[in-house]
């Protein structure tokens, strides 16, 4: 299957910043970098599995406020007000083909698409913020969104940055149906039609270790628990799963 970078490793509503800004990056640091990481764990998005894979590490912003980051995320930071971040957001959707996996029989195919929406983040202090985003899913023709909180620490140890986050992902009926609906007449084990609501809750930690002025080791762990509607789908084997990531990146 054509897979996209795991979105759970970098929360969807994160914003990247320029070097002269004090805004936090998606991982909770203020680093801009590019590199590669090893990712392991199960992805609960629509029930598919992922083996260990290599994933690009990237987060950067240009002086005009346009930013990109790992996970197929791009947007435009428009706010001129300290403590507030907002703007348009683009994000890619994972693709899925049920015939590629026996367990996915009876579920819907998902085409990789570009989704559009916006984000709004509000700072509770220099290193803590509330985050939110909403996107129109062009494959499912519905809406999905995220709300959460993030806190980072830069003074716990020299050359180290730690960030903790927690959030809730929501999805409308069409998005839930595309990802988790199963039809017996299409080969599924039984009929199942979910409703919109809580797609998942998650908690994560990101750790950046600056090896020197240019190179850093970036690691992350995210634990996600599916909502009751997705968890009841026949294509989902585990309600709670963990994704681990570690990689080497060049900071600029």
Asked if the model's pLDDT at residue 15 lies above 70, the reply is no
Q: Is residue 220 part of a domain?
A: yes
Query: From residue 8, how far is each of 62, 125, 141, 166, 187 by CA, in Å?
Result: 24, 24, 21, 11, 30
Q: Is residue 209 part of a domain?
A: yes
Question: What is the average pLDDT across 14-32?
Answer: 64
Q: Which of 19-23, 78-82, 124-128 has the lowest mean pLDDT?
A: 19-23
Please state, for a pLDDT cut of 90, what percent of the chain lies above it: 65
Q: Is residue 1 part of a domain?
A: no
Q: What are the residue ranges of helices labelled H in 134-224?
A: 173-180
- What pLDDT does residue 52 have? 81
Q: What is the CATH number of the domain that holds 100?
A: 2.40.160.40
Domain count, the chain: 1
* Distance between CA atoms of residues 12 and 245, nearest Å: 17
- Residue 10 · residue 70 · CB < 8 Å: yes
Residue in the block written with tokens 């002269």: 20
CB atoms inside a 10 Å sphere around CB 76? 18
Q: Is residue 65 part of a domain?
A: yes
Q: Is residue 230 part of a domain?
A: yes
Condensed to tens digits (0 to 9), the pLDDT of residues 153-183 reads 998 899 999 999 999 999 999 999 999 999 9
Q: Is residue 2 part of a domain?
A: no
Question: What is the average pLDDT across 14-43?
Answer: 72
Q: Can you read off the two tokens belonging to residue 41?
A: 């764990």
CB atoms inside a 10 Å sphere around CB 66? 15
Which has the higher per-residue pLDDT, 48 or 194?
A: 194
Q: What is the chain's mean pLDDT, rounded? A: 87
- What pLDDT does residue 4 have? 34
Condensed to tens digits (0 to 9), the pLDDT of residues 45-104 reads 555 566 788 889 999 988 888 999 987 899 999 998 999 999 999 998 878 888 877 889
Q: What residue numbers bound the domain in which 179 lies?
A: 7-251
């Amino acid at each position: 299957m054509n897979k996209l970078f795991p979105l759970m490793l970098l929360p969807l509503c994160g914003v990247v910043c320029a070097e002269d800004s004090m805004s936090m990056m998606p991982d909770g640091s203020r680093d801009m970098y590019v590199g590669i990481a090893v990712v392991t764990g199960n992805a609960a998005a629509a029930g598919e599995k992922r083996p260990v894979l290599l994933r690009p590490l990237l987060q950067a912003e240009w002086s005009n406020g346009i930013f990109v980051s790992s996970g197929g995320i791009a947007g435009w930071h428009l706010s001129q007000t300290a403590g507030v971040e907002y703007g348009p957001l683009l994000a890619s959707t994972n693709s899925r083909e049920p015939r590629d996996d026996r367990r996915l029989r009876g579920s819907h195919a998902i085409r990789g698409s570009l989704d559009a929406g916006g984000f709004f983040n509000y700072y509770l202090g220099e290193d803590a913020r509330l985050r939110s985003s909403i996107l129109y899913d062009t494959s499912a023709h519905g809406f999905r969104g995220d709300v959460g909180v993030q806190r980072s620490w830069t003074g716990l140890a020299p050359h180290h940055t730690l960030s903790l986050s927690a959030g809730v992902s929501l999805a409308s009926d069409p998005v839930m149906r595309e990802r988790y609906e199963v039809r017996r007449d299409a080969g599924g084990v039984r009929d199942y039609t979910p409703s919109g609501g809580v797609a998942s809750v998650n908690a994560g930690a990101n750790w950046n270790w600056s090896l020197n002025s240019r190179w850093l080791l970036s690691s992350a762990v995210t634990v996600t628990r599916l909502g009751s509607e997705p968890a009841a789908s026949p294509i989902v084997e585990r309600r709670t799963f963990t994704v681990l990531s570690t990689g080497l990146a060049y900071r600029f």
